[in-house]
Structure 1
Amino acid sequence: MAWLRDIDRWFATRVLPYAGNYRAYARKLIGDDAEAEDLVQEAYAKVLSVPDWRRLDAPERFVLTIIRNLAFERFRRAKVVGIRQIGVLEMDLLADPAPDAYAVTSARQELDIVLAALDRLPEQCRKVLTLRKMYGLSPGQIAVRLNLSISTVEKHLAKGLLLLTKALASGDGRSIEKRPSSWPRRAIKTETH
């Protein structure tokens, strides 16, 4: 078996021994043997495409979760679903798709870091980057709005992205030199001319 990749060996030893459990669970959810087998095979394909497969602590639970999600997705797309199948999904055990408090707090902290780093960019870079990335304007639209050439907009965009990337890579977003306090912070107009 020297020709097997690491992921193949991992799959054979950590995932495949539970194939019976996967099929039984898929049959319980779907109710049809052929569709259940399709669901298991689709779950295998998803597991084999996970880039960090080595980090999976409980691959059996991971595969079961994939099977459940795939079954749920099939039910969502189906025109008619039997009541028995809905009950089997144990809707109360499905994960709430809304982010938990930790995810919300973490995302807010990350946003604060990005905004603080963005605030420390040179004024034109900050304006151009904000209009491009936050408002989705094209370089041509930004050039008209800020009365700049397109090449100048592109240079500010490149410089701003480079500075922002460096600041965020430092971990705290503070590596951009702070603007002198004499530089006013001007609001960016978002209305169209």
Structure 2
Amino acid sequence: MTTKSTLADTFLKYRTRLVRAVGAIVNPDDIEDIVQEAFIKSYEAQLNQEIRFERTYMLKTARNLALNHVTKASSQLNQSMEDMDHLPQELVGHSLEKNVESKERFIHFCRATDTLSPDVKRVFLLKKVYGMRQRDIAELVGISESTVEKHVAKGLMLCARYLADTPQDAAKSGQPGFKSGTGHTQ
């Protein structure tokens, strides 16, 4: 058996484990792409070097790709916050990370807010992350206070539902029993 077919056999044998490992880190919609990319990167690496522990190499590759994906998504979230029009001066320099106890909770929070529409997301973050008053948000965004209240309520409901459907204890510990993508309504 050639080394190339061994790598493919290893991938097929441990594909479910790769999916679980990646699923503990990224959104369900991104899992398959990252798992496939992990195989391609492993295959390309094996063309240039011998990989003695194929399963470990693929798992580490998949995990690193997933972490890079989350970092990129988090960066995009931060960039979209920077793009907001004319934030009040007291918000400059305020760190979102200070409002979250750990990196894992921050990642889950970002994933939850990514499920929101742009309008709801903007209002929700201004209220819940920056602690702005509804009246100030309404003036800043150019909508009624009633609409601000509705956006905040919708954001709370959808984020709470997302976080409740995400088994965070399994995701934190990296346990292989974590099943990503089950029960998500978004």
**Common topology (TM > 0.5):** no
> Larger Cα Rg: Structure 1 or Structure 2?
1
Normalising by the residue count of structure 2, what TM-score does the alignment of the two structures yield? 0.36
Normalising by the residue count of structure 1, what TM-score does the alignment of the two structures yield? 0.35
User: More helix by proportion, 1 or 2?
Assistant: 2
Higher relative contact order (Cα pairs below 8 Å, separated by 6+ residues): 2
